[in-house]
């Protein structure tokens, strides 16, 4: 399996080694930079607030987790996901923001053949505790968005990865079970409990979708974008005649009851 093949595979998950207009993700830990970024993102995607933009950002950033976990399970390889190694495509005015993600150091590290469970735990720690958790913490602190929403934005894509993209791989069932049922909270940041576990529930048949879906616990605010479309998994029940939640961008009832 050569480097070109692996890069082509990861491009499906928005890996792009040749970004033209990009920023260093680690800069988002600077409050001033983060505020400017969310302001610009809000303008570009016509989001009504920085809080909505923060949710959309994490939904897009979730593809870093997808890439990392795909490499771990499909190839037994580790991607360098240190914040300093990640670059992301800047938003452009008037366009849907589906950003590419680049790695300054794109070399993959092979599993050394020793205890795979320890190796797997180190990958999860690097991905979640050292990368995603600091961003979620900073977003919650800066714009007041609930971390419950942000973690579910990540969880949705992790579940999708293992239930669709990786379902036929030998290690997928074991890795997925560990990720949602056995991984300690400390692998995800300053937590006693695994923050992804609470979002994994049985799927429910929805007649309007004619499909089995896992209804979200929280609303991600996507409906507040100009397209005014709700995710088919949206949990909200308090919808006004204009299709907008009565609670707007505040902690909606779905989040409040879940918390």
Q: What is the DSSP string of 201-239?
A: ---EEETTTTEEE---SS---GGGSTT----TT-----B
Handedness of CA 43, 140, 11, 177 (dihedral sign): negative
- pLDDT for 254 beyond 60: no
Answer for the pair 131, 83: CB distance below 8 angstroms, yes or no: yes
Q: Which residues contact 205 (CB under 8 A, 6 or more apart)?
A: 211, 212
Q: In the block, which residue shows the tokens 């795909």?
A: 70
CA 190, CA 185: separation in Å to the nearest integer? 7
Q: What is the DSSP string of 45-90?
A: HT-SSHHHHHHHHHHHHHHHHHHHHHHHHHHSEEE---GGGEEEEP
pLDDT for position 202? 85
Mean pLDDT of the chain: 88
In 80-124, which ranges are continuous DSSP H helix?
116-124
pLDDT at 225: 81
Return the higher-pLDDT residue of 257 and 31.
31
Q: What total of structural domains would you count in the chain?
A: 1
Q: 135, 40 in Cβ contact below 8 A?
A: no
Determine the Cα–Cα distance for residues 121 and 140; give it in Å rounded to an integer: 26
Coil/strand/helix, residue 20: coil
Q: Which residue from 186, 179, 171 is spatially nearest to 200, judged by alpha carbons?
A: 179
Confidence of residue 218 (pLDDT cuts 50, 70, 90): confident
| Paired strand residues for 245 | 239
What are the tens digits of pLDDT across the range 81-126? Answer: 999 999 999 998 877 799 999 999 999 999 999 999 999 999 999 9
Q: Quick one: which H or E segment has residue 130?
A: none
Question: Which stretches of the chain are assigned E, i.e. beta strand?
Answer: 22-24, 77-79, 86-89, 101-103, 108-110, 204-206, 211-213
Model confidence at 14: pLDDT above 50: yes
Does 72 have pLDDT greater than 70? yes
pLDDT of residue 221: 81
Determine the pLDDT at residue 245: 57
Q: What is the span of the domain harbouring residue 113?
A: 3-258
- What pLDDT sits at residue 172? 98
The bridge status of strand 22-24 relative to strand 77-79 is unpaired
The encoded tokens of residue 43 equal 């303008």
Structure confidence at residue 36 (pLDDT): 97
pTM of the model: 0.90
Q: What are phi and psi of 150, to 5 degrees?
A: -65, -40
Identify the CA nearest to 82 among candidates 138, 132, 120, 35.
132
For the residues 171-188, what does the mean pLDDT come to? Answer: 97
* pLDDT for position 249: 47
């Amino acid at each position: 399996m050569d480097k070109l093949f692996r890069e082509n595979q990861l491009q499906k998950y928005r890996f792009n080694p040749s970004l033209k207009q990009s920023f260093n993700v680690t800069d988002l830990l600077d409050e001033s930079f983060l505020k400017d970024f969310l302001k610009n993102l809000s303008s570009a995607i016509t989001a009504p607030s920085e809080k909505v933009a923060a949710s959309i950002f994490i939904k897009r950033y979730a593809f870093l987790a997808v890439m990392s976990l795909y490499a771990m399970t499909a190839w037994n390889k580790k991607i360098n996901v240190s914040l300093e190694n990640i670059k992301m495509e800047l938003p452009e005015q008037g366009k849907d923001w589906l950003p590419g993600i680049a790695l300054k150091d794109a070399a993959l590290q092979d599993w050394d053949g020793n205890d795979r469970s320890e190796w797997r735990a180190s990958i999860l720690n690097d991905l979640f505790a050292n990368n995603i958790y600091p961003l979620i913490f900073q977003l919650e602190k800066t714009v007041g968005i609930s971390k419950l929403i942000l973690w579910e934005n990540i969880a949705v894509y992790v579940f999708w990865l293992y239930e669709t993209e990786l379902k036929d791989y030998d290690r997928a069932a074991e890795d997925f079970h560990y990720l949602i049922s056995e991984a300690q909270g400390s692998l995800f940041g300053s937590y006693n409990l695994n923050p992804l576990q609470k979002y994994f529930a049985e799927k429910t048949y929805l007649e309007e979708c004619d499909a089995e879906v896992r209804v979200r616990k929280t609303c991600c605010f996507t409906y507040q974008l100009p397209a005014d479309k709700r995710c088919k998994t949206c949990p909200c029940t308090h919808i006004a005649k204009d299709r907008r939640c009565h609670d707007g961008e505040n902690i909606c009832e779905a989040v409040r009851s879940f918390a």
